[in-house]
Structure 1
Amino acid sequence: MKGVLGELQVNLAARFFLDKNQYKLFKNVTLPTEDGSTQIDHIIVSRYGVFVIETKNIRGWIFGGQNQKTWTQKIYRHTQKFQTPLHQNYKHTETLKSALQIAPEKMFSLVVFVGNSEFKTPMPENVVYGGAYIRFIKSKIQPILTETEVKTIASSIESGRLTPSIKTHRTHVKHVKKIVEDKQRSLDENLCPKCGNPMVLRKTRSGVNQGKQFWGCSGFPKCRMIRQIP
């Protein structure tokens, strides 16, 4: 529900502050991929480029950097990691670029945070709060697509997307859950069974097994748990 409310805010901002004759908005676009599907919150097509928008409705302090794989959300004493939205949106832009056969310089990745959140580290210019995404889009004033190209791209998105339906959404959610579960299983398998810290790859320095690799707890020397490699 938070995601729906966040996307609604983006929809309303586009409706009231972007000229619909110049900017074509597509919402919840699900595209087929080799391993399932990917869902794009919003795509805005104009003569000034194609804007691929990922919406995040979360609260608290946000810490992160452009090249980090995960960012951190902190609410009072509670801290948790989440996938960097820029990396998440990268798959979206790559899928769309491949489907449209469009040059990468004509596409813009944009992450929009809504809700009661606050950045505690400097963010890239394409990571913004709420309505600031309108300013980002309007900052692109040099036409890079012709009217014909805009119509062709809009038509391709409309014909290439999976038909919006409850079934399409459920299938995509199921696919995403499987990816998350697989990643979590991989992480769990590489955690120390004694203290829960990550296991790291090490080498035996001496003795009959010198040079042989094994998994050792990253909490060493407090935790000396090891797991031999067959």
Structure 2
Amino acid sequence: MDIASTVFNALQPLLWVIPVLILIYIIKTPWFKGCAGERIVHFCLKRLPKGDYKVLKDITLPCESGSTQIDHIVVSKYGIFVVETKNMKGWIFGGTYQPMWQQTFFKRSSVFKNPLHQNYKHIKTLQSLLGIDDTAFHSVIVFVGEGVFKTEMPENVTKSVRSMMKYIRSFNTVIFNEQQLQTFITDIEQSRFKPGFATDFAHVQSLKKADK
């Protein structure tokens, strides 16, 4: 038996460690956390009455800066809810008009863009596409995970999916009929980029250009 075979046989019982380490690495990435958070939110949104709410997921639309990516759009007779999901741990600090918010986890701190400002861009893109008044839109920010708000947040920044659902259901004045809803959905579906890796990659590149 040559040296290579001897080494391989000795290490073979440990080969299972490699995929486990890769899996752990993937789970800890912001990409995976974001996907997991969006799946949780999607599961809850789909529990809304189907006759009153239509849920669209992961919508990438063209805009002046390239593209904008919306986690969820809930088209309903009570208005159009634009949902931005954040999956974060630790303490969350922020305010309506602050451009950057802060996350503190143990002794580590990091900043992230104000999700209200992100959603404002989403809403303006949809408003331009659908040609309806901005009062018909409802911006919703939902934090999933173990994050704790350490500053006072507006009511549309929710700290759980339960709070998100409660906020959405608080709107009960009918402003759209079924025909209008179908038109909105058709316009969005026809304008969105095809879901997939190519669209996600192009969107990331457009964000990098916008940040320069």
Same fold by TM (over 0.5)? yes
How far has the Cα of 1:130 moved from its partner? 2.4
RMSD: 1.0
- The answer to whether 1:156 aligns with 2:170 is no
User: Which one has a larger percent helix, Structure 1 or Structure 2?
Assistant: 2
Gaps of at least 5 residues in structure 1 are 183-230
1:173-212 residue pairs with structure 2 within 5 A? 173-180=204-211, 182=212
Gaps of at least 5 residues in structure 2 are 1-31
Structure 2 residue aligned with 1:60: 90
Distance 1:161 1:37 in 2: 10
Q: TM (normalized to structure 2)?
A: 0.82
Question: Match for 2:42 among 11, 22, 25?
Answer: 11
Structure 1 residue aligned with 2:125: 95
Distance 2:65 2:121 in 1: 12
- Identity rate of aligned residues, in percent? 46
CA contact (8 A) 2:60 2:67 kept: yes
How far has the Cα of 1:146 moved from its partner? 1.6
- The answer to whether 1:39 aligns with 2:69 is yes
Q: If you compute each CA radius of gyration, which structure gives the higher value, 1 or 2?
A: 1
Structure 1 residue aligned with 2:6: none
Distance 1:179 1:115 in 2: 29
* Higher RCO (CA 8 Å, separation ≥ 6 residues): 2
1:5 partner SS: helix
CA contact (8 A) 1:58 1:113 kept: yes
Distance 1:112 1:143 in 2: 24
How far has the Cα of 1:82 moved from its partner? 1.3
CA contact (8 A) 1:2 1:57 kept: yes
Distance 2:99 2:121 in 1: 13
CA contact (8 A) 1:61 1:74 kept: yes
Kindly tell me the number of residue pairs found equivalent between the two proteins: 180
CA contact (8 A) 1:28 1:41 kept: yes
Q: TM (normalized to structure 1)?
A: 0.76
1:84-123 residue pairs with structure 2 within 5 A? 84-123=114-153
